[in-house]
Structure 1
């Protein structure tokens, strides 16, 4: 298998999804060890080298460490068959890996944020957080590459690019000017108008509702602590999260969790 087999965005997406599932499986094995000190020892040196490459604007060094990071995730699972399949998928996507950093992320700080979040979730040894970290990381990268590879086939627009990016990155700060310039490729004023015209609300209101809707889903479907869920959707202030959640759903997070489970139970 080689990169000439990728003939459409759909095939590329399938390979990205397969790679995500392989790395999620590996992360499960890592989290089962439940040894944060050991996991941090494996990934902290990689994180430091990625940060160094970012500060020096060294795309080649960043590309190299990106491969080291993902290869380490697979190798720590200690499953030869998993590693063999992953290496085949990685090589198939090799052209995109080589091009992506300079072509799609001229400012490595955006990509560094994705990698730092991924490493932090794995080092937490929180299985749910780590799985989300891997999935969100690769979905965000797929979206960024695919929408630039073939904008016509994907029928993207500044608004759809922004909305997709937001949905994959709720755990990060989401700033209108940054998303407009680096993701939607338009002005902040124009993007703000697009949100108002399409959704009848401001960019900030849209982001807040997306965060709260994802939190509501996590409250219903998981047993994660409320503080963890708040952080997962981008709230650092738990009290503020509770206030916003009650305003939107007319229930506290605890009340919502109990109410939705009673309905489905």
Structure 2
């Protein structure tokens, strides 16, 4: 048997993000009880509270943090990525800043989805045709909440396989290597918010390599979270715990929805109040 280590990091620091950018994604229903709590917090201006950490004062939100536990429809933790990036730098030397990976594998065919990969969709139609693969349709009726929290994570999976499973991958390798199939879920909102991918697993010949949580933590810090509320499959509100203007993973979008966040409340209070009023009308 031959040792295999697949390690990857996503560096978003050049855009104001994190050097080793991981995410946790939760999707579930916003119950009537939670909806009423949110309504009360907004009406009484108590959604955000002052906190202290390492002698620093900032605004946080217990309610938004607890939304990470609303996950009956979906819950995954892994590395943020975007379509094709893993395969653009397919070599085990690329996208692995610390060079933890063994040099005996490559990511193979991008089109070859496996049964651990899924496309998560919200505003879907009954007769809509999708590409091959697993399609996870989030129930459209009522209010759903998608919570995305950033954290330090250096994706690290390891295992062993028989050298007989090595092969030459056409147009990619000249020597036999292990063909690694990544489990990548696509979270697709459509409209203004687009989507992103999360790498959560890797496989060799259908066998999943084990993720090493101790080596993945890489600092262990947990950062801000952002939350989208969807009504009947359509994004109707955007909330976040950010104390700065960076609203990952939606910082690049051009949306008419104002983000209800500490930063926005402090820097644009009039528009913040309009956003709160609009959300209250939908709850």
Q: Smaller-chain TM-score range? A: under 0.3
The two structures have a TM-score, normalised by structure 1, of: 0.26
Structure ranking higher in helix proportion:
1
Structure ranking higher in strand proportion:
2
The higher-RCO structure (CA 8 Å, 6+ apart) is: 2
